[in-house]
Structure 1
Amino acid sequence: MPEKIIVAGVPVDTRHFIGGRRVASPDTFDDVSPIDGQVLGPIARGGPAEAEAAIAAAREAFPAWAATPRAERARILHAVADGVEKRIEELSAVETHDNGALLRSHRRGVMPRVAHNFRFFADWLLTLGHDDFETRGHTNHVSWDPAGPCVLITPWNAPLMLATWKVAPALAAGNTVVLKPAEWSPLTASLLADIATEAGLPAGVLNVVQGYGAEIGDALTSHPDVRRISFTGSVPTATRIAASAAANLTPLSLELGGKSPLLVFADADLDLAVDLAVEQYDNAGQVCLAATRILVEESVAEEFTRRFEEKASALVQGDPREEATDLGPTIHTRQLEKIDGFVQRALAAGARAVIGGHRRDGQYYAPTLLTDVAQDSEIVQEEVFGPVLTLQTFADEEEAVRLANDTRFGLAATLATGDRERADRVTARLIAGTVWVNCFFVRDLQAPFGGSRLSGVGREGGTWSFDFYCDLKNTVTAPNGWNNHG
């Protein structure tokens, strides 16, 4: 296999990165661009041997990195952020070819956020602490000790941003990392390894291995030397990871799927509510936080639907490299078939497509809104992960909350209302890790992030990330018993 491929004019090494050096595998898999179905190149396909080597490298590098002073770890993470910022154009172009998300979004939002992930956790590390407190004259001192090698398994819908959301706090905490990116979008993780090396990150502190979950993922998550596992992805995969980790009682952080509601009350700013609803088509609907179930108060449902159809129909779907494009392709033909299967079964069961409901050429699926759907139907209850929304109506606040909470998930919820007291009442009753009121996708790294029910286990962000990636220790010291008084 070639050591490097050229993507959008950028050379990308397709080998693993283990212990500070590139490592090939005897087998490969093809990385295909969703834009046009073209093969970008063969990628090293790892298995148990590569998993073992990567964990061994992380284990060997851990003592020195854990002992590195906080200020020095923070300095290196800021240097990584500098490297990301210098290569925003390259990273954006490669990731757009690799996963089909909009180039303009990568340039303006996603890649700057990648750099911010490193800067935020580097700075947070320097302020991390807890005031000492007294217990019957004894002093309690809380500390955050690095846990050890971490396995981080990341998804394909925002590959580098979601990878660094895990990598940055794990490294800041003093841990070493084995990163396994999704096989459908592995390229920017490889570029991150180059950037981290140039920034001075010691060999073995960050390792990147590629391959299929069944071949390399199980070997990583079941390894007894792994001290933390963080995963973002589907519920079925999470259950396999949890079972694999159980034998070693390896702590897990799981950020999983969602079937989030958008509640639109009659007192809401209807134009704002429509804007929020259409925004759910972002990244071709391949966003775990997307409010795919639109719940609208009966008295404004007809007007809401009219305005929604008008606005959504104006969206431009096409080549994500073009500035005017609003929706790109779905990530993979398998995902496209899955999306269409959901929609066609819903239509066969009596749903009506207000817009969309069909494929377009290539790997593109038309933005879709389905009405006349039952609450217990598959299309309402299961995550589609594509540009497919449903619309239901409610009579009053009580029914709105009941419908909103009536799934197995609890990742997020969005609420549109002009009544502050109603907002307070409803948000208090919604089952969700994040609730947005009259806004969407406003996220601060200081805030806890995660889901309830089948949407996940644990919270990350700010100190919550360090709580997960560290072993917390409380040291209790008696007030006397010292032989010296220096």
Structure 2
Amino acid sequence: MSTRYLQVAGHDVSGDHYIDGQRIPGKTRFELHCPIDQRLLGTISEGDEEHIEAAIQAAQRAFATWSLLSAAERLPYLERFADEIGKRAEALCAVESNDAGVLLSRMRHGVVPRAKLNITWFARHALELQHRPIDTDQAHHIVKHDPAGVTVIITPWNSPLMLSTWKLGPALAAGNTCILKPPEWAPLTCSLLADAAHAAGLPPGVFNVVQGTGARTGARLVSDFRISRISFTGSVPTAKLIAQSAAANLVPCSLELGGKSPFIVLEDADLDSAAATATLMYRNAGQVCLAGTRLLVHKNVVDQFVIKMRALVDQLVVGDPRDEATEVGPIIHPRQVERVKGFVDRAVACGARLLWGGQPHSFGPQYFQPTLVTDVAQDDEIIQNEVFGPVLTLQTFSSDDEVVSKANGTDYGLGGICYGETSHAQAIAERVRTGFIWVNSFGIRDLAAPFGGIKRSGIGREGGDWSFEFFCDVKDVVIPKKPFRASFSHR
């Protein structure tokens, strides 16, 4: 069977798997629709038992040689991989915008440069992990980071390119071989990644892509005893299923599961800056795990804050994400639109009040109005559960203790944002139980820093040494400083 290609925005994209350095078509296929206008983009191969077995065997064979290379020897391969991503920048931008509804401007100026950096940064950082000496009175310890084995990577539909490369970078740099299972609603840039890896000369089997649904393809991959690591970003229910499968084989999992992050506006905050940042939470149609979706505003400034934010929201451009002027694009799938609308409708039915939005947008059936819901209680569903759409909630507070209590009053703990006089905001930030929190800022990231959440927001950290701690088996080579003589004497 010949490889099938989809034509997306003038670019050829394979709809088939990439296994052991070759394109492999599937016997069964599923349809892929564009979230912008619901047109059919094409059909995608679905991974079955045969494809999964072939991918695992290929990754095992490749691991035997890839794992023996030093970090310095793997570096040229990964630098070429990043270069090939750069050469495909326009295709990656156009395809992900059509496939996932992501803003084209965000792809060009943020995602693709970050995708390249994800590969090169970790490849170079791996050079520092080869030997880490620890000296004690008794011995000289050499701490080594050995490759763990075959790694399964499962990424979500809201940012498939960036999140795939963020995991692939350290996994490959550590010497692991990888099987990537793309999101079924937005798999196409992961397919283009396979083209980039192939052109870069990554040995066959080092990087494989098996497409399909989570229930069928993903479930089979994570339950295999030959898998050494699983890295997943997505929903809590799916993570629980993955963890159950992995537990049967004692496979370590890294789980990044989204959030319900607080956006705190203290009485001494710069309200113009805070309102502008809060409006950013609607970007990517609110489909961002680290967005501050729960606005917690001091009661003495809430009226001013709402007026300032409303003026900015009224100026937001909702429309085609391929237009550089667009600021809010579509929701990924009709099922997700129904989910978002259901949250809002149920909140209103229970007494919540809409300050703006609350309905599907006139631009198209997969667009939803930027929405702000208030008069909600702490235990309401819309406060406690992740909506993952352009929907924010507004609560007020009158004291530091009250805002900390509300900020910590969900089962999530991924991120947060706190606006106020710097020392005051920092003091509050240190009391919020979360994986990270921005003070008077948003979106500042560094690959050397840890990323991840607590509670239902996940297990583990990504970034810097934390990524390698997960993707490696850490080994301590102990060399005594004095001649060692074994003795069975207990005296």
TM range (shorter): over 0.9
- 1:309 aligned partner, one-letter code: R
Equivalent position of 2:294 in the other structure: 293
1:451 and 2:457 matched: no
Could you tell which deviates more after superposition, 132-141 or 391-400?
A: 132-141
Q: CA deviation at 1:133?
A: 2.3
- 2:103 aligned partner, one-letter code: L
Contact 1:48/1:215 (<8 A) preserved = no
- 1:446 aligned partner, one-letter code: A
What is the CA–CA distance in structure 2 between the aligned matches of 1:103 and 1:239, rounded to whole Å?
33
What is the CA–CA distance in structure 2 between the aligned matches of 1:129 and 1:203, rounded to whole Å?
25
Taking the TM superposition and a 5 Å limit, the aligned residue runs for 1:59-98 are 59-98=60-99
Equivalent position of 1:383 in the other structure: 386
Q: CA deviation at 1:424?
A: 2.8
Q: CA deviation at 1:54?
A: 0.8
Equivalent position of 1:478 in the other structure: 480
SS at match of 2:44: strand
Equivalent position of 1:37 in the other structure: 38
Q: CA deviation at 1:69?
A: 2.1
What is the CA–CA distance in structure 2 between the aligned matches of 1:133 and 1:416, rounded to whole Å?
42
1:392-423 Cα deviation digits (max 9, x unpaired): 000011101000000000000100001x3322
- 1:295 aligned partner, one-letter code: L
SS at match of 1:389: strand
Q: CA deviation at 1:129?
A: 4.9
Equivalent position of 2:52 in the other structure: 51
- 2:220 aligned partner, one-letter code: A
1:364 and 2:400 matched: no
- Percent of residue pairs bearing the same amino acid type: 52
Could you tell which deviates more after superposition, 357-366 or 148-157?
A: 357-366
SS at match of 1:460: coil
Equivalent position of 1:328 in the other structure: 329
Q: CA deviation at 1:481?
A: 5.2
Q: CA deviation at 1:92?
A: 0.1
1:93-120 Cα deviation digits (max 9, x unpaired): 0000000011111111111110011111
Describe the shift of the 1:131–1:150 C-alpha distance in structure 2 as closer, same or farther (beyond 3 A): closer
Equivalent position of 2:416 in the other structure: 413
What is the CA–CA distance in structure 1 between the aligned matches of 2:475 and 2:448, rounded to whole Å?
22
What is the CA–CA distance in structure 2 between the aligned matches of 1:425 and 1:5, rounded to whole Å?
52
Contact 2:35/2:333 (<8 A) preserved = yes
Describe the shift of the 1:41–1:2 C-alpha distance in structure 2 as closer, same or farther (beyond 3 A): farther
SS at match of 1:384: coil
What is the CA–CA distance in structure 1 between the aligned matches of 2:481 and 2:264, rounded to whole Å?
57
1:39-96 Cα deviation digits (max 9, x unpaired): 1000001122221211111111101000112112111111111111111111100000
Taking the TM superposition and a 5 Å limit, the aligned residue runs for 1:42-191 are 42-129=43-130, 131-191=132-192
What is the CA–CA distance in structure 1 between the aligned matches of 2:60 and 2:132, rounded to whole Å?
32
What is the CA–CA distance in structure 2 between the aligned matches of 1:323 and 1:461, rounded to whole Å?
30
Contact 2:355/2:373 (<8 A) preserved = yes
What is the CA–CA distance in structure 2 between the aligned matches of 1:354 and 1:391, rounded to whole Å?
9
Equivalent position of 1:433 in the other structure: 435
What is the CA–CA distance in structure 2 between the aligned matches of 1:131 and 1:352, rounded to whole Å?
57
Partner residue of 1:468 out of 467, 470, 479 = 470
- 2:201 aligned partner, one-letter code: G
What is the CA–CA distance in structure 2 between the aligned matches of 1:186 and 1:234, rounded to whole Å?
17
Could you tell which deviates more after superposition, 133-142 or 446-455?
A: 133-142
Taking the TM superposition and a 5 Å limit, the aligned residue runs for 1:168-247 are 168-247=169-248
SS at match of 1:429: coil
What is the CA–CA distance in structure 1 between the aligned matches of 2:232 and 2:90, rounded to whole Å?
28
- 1:421 aligned partner, one-letter code: S
Could you tell which deviates more after superposition, 342-351 or 47-56?
A: 47-56
SS at match of 1:231: strand
Q: CA deviation at 1:434?
A: 1.0
Q: CA deviation at 1:137?
A: 3.2
Equivalent position of 1:422 in the other structure: 424
Contact 1:52/1:219 (<8 A) preserved = no
Equivalent position of 1:314 in the other structure: 315
Could you tell which deviates more after superposition, 62-71 or 36-45?
A: 62-71
1:265-313 Cα deviation digits (max 9, x unpaired): 1101000100111011111100000110000000000110111111111
What is the CA–CA distance in structure 1 between the aligned matches of 2:169 and 2:3, rounded to whole Å?
30
Q: CA deviation at 1:130?
A: 5.7
SS at match of 1:41: strand
Q: CA deviation at 1:136?
A: 3.1
SS at match of 1:132: strand
Gap regions ≥5 residues in structure 2:
485-491
What is the CA–CA distance in structure 2 between the aligned matches of 1:71 and 1:136, rounded to whole Å?
32
Equivalent position of 2:28 in the other structure: 27
What is the CA–CA distance in structure 2 between the aligned matches of 1:46 and 1:63, rounded to whole Å?
24
SS at match of 1:319: coil
Q: CA deviation at 1:480?
A: 5.0
Contact 1:100/1:330 (<8 A) preserved = yes
Q: CA deviation at 1:2?
A: 6.2
Contact 2:100/2:157 (<8 A) preserved = yes
- 1:458 aligned partner, one-letter code: G
Q: CA deviation at 1:353?
A: 1.1
Equivalent position of 2:405 in the other structure: 402
What is the CA–CA distance in structure 2 between the aligned matches of 1:481 and 1:22, rounded to whole Å?
57
Contact 1:354/1:368 (<8 A) preserved = yes
What is the CA–CA distance in structure 1 between the aligned matches of 2:200 and 2:232, rounded to whole Å?
26
What is the CA–CA distance in structure 2 between the aligned matches of 1:156 and 1:384, rounded to whole Å?
15
- 2:163 aligned partner, one-letter code: L
Taking the TM superposition and a 5 Å limit, the aligned residue runs for 1:271-286 are 271-286=272-287
1:433-467 Cα deviation digits (max 9, x unpaired): 11000001111110011100000001110111111
Equivalent position of 1:10 in the other structure: 11
Q: CA deviation at 1:352?
A: 1.2
1:174-232 Cα deviation digits (max 9, x unpaired): 00000001000000111101101111100000000000111111110010110000000
SS at match of 2:437: strand
What is the CA–CA distance in structure 2 between the aligned matches of 1:220 and 1:65, rounded to whole Å?
21
What is the CA–CA distance in structure 1 between the aligned matches of 2:91 and 2:346, rounded to whole Å?
41
Partner residue of 1:393 out of 391, 396, 402 = 396
What is the CA–CA distance in structure 1 between the aligned matches of 2:135 and 2:163, rounded to whole Å?
40
- 2:225 aligned partner, one-letter code: P
Contact 2:3/2:25 (<8 A) preserved = no
The number of residue pairs the alignment matches comes to 481
SS at match of 1:283: helix
Q: CA deviation at 1:154?
A: 0.3
